[in-house]
């Protein structure tokens, strides 16, 4: 009888309040909505929120009809049902949003090897960080995959310099994100090097478009963020180092791969058995 009563309370629509926190916002607000009854609230900054709804607690959902301009958010934890409402709900924003050639990209805010921590405070209370794990430096292709710079430079991209990497540590790093459905996304990949320019910032005030080898030298005063040319709030553990793309550099015998250097903000190239970092990307 008790189970029946509890099930009745949870399964049938009723008024209640969802209370929790939002972390990871940057410069714009988040709209949180219950699609069942259309109730919504606008959360302007990181911190607490409360949403009064009329819905079934058992089947309650939250969505975001208006996402922030620069980050993308998700429900991390629905919270705990108390009988009167949900408490300790957690919404956080583990993605950076950019648009490249009309395509909306969702970037993992954490360098591969580390993961988003919605409760992290290394960049400020309420902002979240990448304090789960540590960034890993990986090789694009190695002798173990058959790589030889002279005789088999395309071992990790099906022997064809026009194809993308499909074998090796760098490839499997983003594949692992897909297999585990990281942050509830079911498709992750390595970025194209041109796409990586969309997350470079040469200074706190300059957001000029970076396109190639000159990097930050061609767009402003060359004053860089401390430690990296990726925004340190949007990308908490950005390494001042080179990040791999998925593309072979089609010159010099196809021995090298396109990279973007997040120390000086420019396009670069490196032999495939060297090491670099990875930032995986998904698509909206």
Does the residue 251 lie in any domain? yes
Q: Which of 160, 156, 137 is nearest to 148 (CA)?
A: 156
- The total of structural domains in the chain comes to 2
Taking residue 181's Cβ as centre, other Cβ atoms within 10 Å add up to 11
Q: 8: Cβ–Cβ under 8 A, 6 or more apart, which residues? A: none
Domain edge (last residue) among 31, 66, 93: 93
Q: Global pTM?
A: 0.90
Q: Is residue 122 part of a domain?
A: no
Span 43-66, average pLDDT: 95
3-state secondary structure 55-122: ECHHHCCCECCCCCCCEEEEEEECCEECCCEEEEEEEEEEEEEEEECCEEEEEECCCCCEEEECCCCC
**79 and 157 co-located in one domain:** no
> pLDDT digit string (tens) for 1-50?
333 344 545 678 999 999 999 999 998 999 999 999 999 999 999 999 99
The region that residue 68 occupies, defined by phi over 0 for left and psi between -120 and 50 for alpha, beta otherwise, is: beta
Mean pLDDT of the chain: 89
Write out the two tokens for 178: 């897909």
Whether residue 86 sits in one domain with residue 192: no
Q: How confident is the model at residue 179 (pLDDT cuts 50, 70, 90)?
A: very high
268 and 180 in one domain? Answer: yes
139 and 270 inside one domain: yes
- Let me know if residue 39 belongs to a domain: yes
Judge whether 123 lies within some domain.
no
Confirm whether 12 is domain-assigned.
yes
Residue 50 and residue 145 in one domain: no
Report how far residue 75's alpha carbon sits from residue 61's, in angstroms, rounded to the nearest whole number. Answer: 9
Question: Which pLDDT value is given to residue 234?
Answer: 93
Evaluate whether residue 50 is within a structural domain: yes
Residue 116 domain flag:
no
pLDDT at residue 216, as a whole number: 73
* pLDDT value of residue 242: 94
pLDDT exceeds 60 at position 141:
yes
pLDDT tens profile 224-272? 665 567 888 899 989 989 999 999 988 877 889 999 988 888 888 899 9
44 and 160 part of one domain: no
Nearest-angstrom CA–CA distance, 57 and 14: 8
Tens digit of pLDDT for each residue in 65-108?
Answer: 999 999 999 999 999 999 889 999 999 999 999 999 999 999 99
Residue span of the structural domain in which 270 resides: 130-283
Tell me if 118 is assigned to some domain.
no
| Residues 135 and 275 both lie in one domain | yes
Last residue within a domain, chosen from 93, 115, 140: 93
């Amino acid at each position: 009888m008790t189970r029946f009563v509890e099930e009745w309370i949870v399964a049938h629509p009723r008024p209640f309040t969802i209370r929790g926190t939002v972390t990871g916002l940057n410069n714009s607000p988040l709209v949180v909505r219950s699609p069942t009854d259309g109730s919504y609230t606008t959360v302007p900054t990181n911190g607490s929120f409360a949403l009064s709804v009329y819905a079934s607690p058992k089947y309650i959902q939250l969505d975001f009809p208006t996402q922030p301009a620069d980050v993308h958010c998700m429900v991390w934890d629905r919270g705990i049902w108390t009988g009167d409402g949900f408490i300790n709900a957690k919404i956080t924003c583990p993605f950076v949003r950019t648009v490249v050639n009309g395509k909306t990209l969702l970037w993992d805010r954490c360098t591969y090897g580390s993961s988003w921590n919605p409760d992290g405070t290394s960049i400020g209370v309420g902002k979240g960080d990448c304090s789960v794990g540590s960034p890993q430096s990986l090789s694009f292709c190695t002798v173990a995959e058959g790589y030889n710079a002279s005789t088999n430079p395309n071992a990790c991209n099906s022997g064809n310099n026009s194809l993308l990497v499909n074998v090796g540590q760098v490839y499997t790093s983003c594949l692992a994100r897909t297999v585990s459905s990281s942050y509830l996304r079911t498709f992750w990949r390595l970025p194209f090097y041109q796409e990586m320019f969309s997350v470079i910032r040469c200074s706190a005030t300059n957001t000029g478009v970076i396109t190639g080898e000159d990097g930050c030298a061609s767009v402003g005063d060359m004053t860089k963020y401390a430690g990296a040319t990726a925004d340190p709030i949007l990308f908490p553990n950005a390494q001042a180092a080179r990040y791999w793309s998925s593309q072979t550099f089609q010159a010099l015998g196809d021995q090298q791969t396109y990279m973007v250097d997040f120390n000086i903000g420019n396009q670069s190239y490196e032999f495939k058995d060297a090491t670099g970092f990875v930032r995986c990307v998904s698509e909206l």
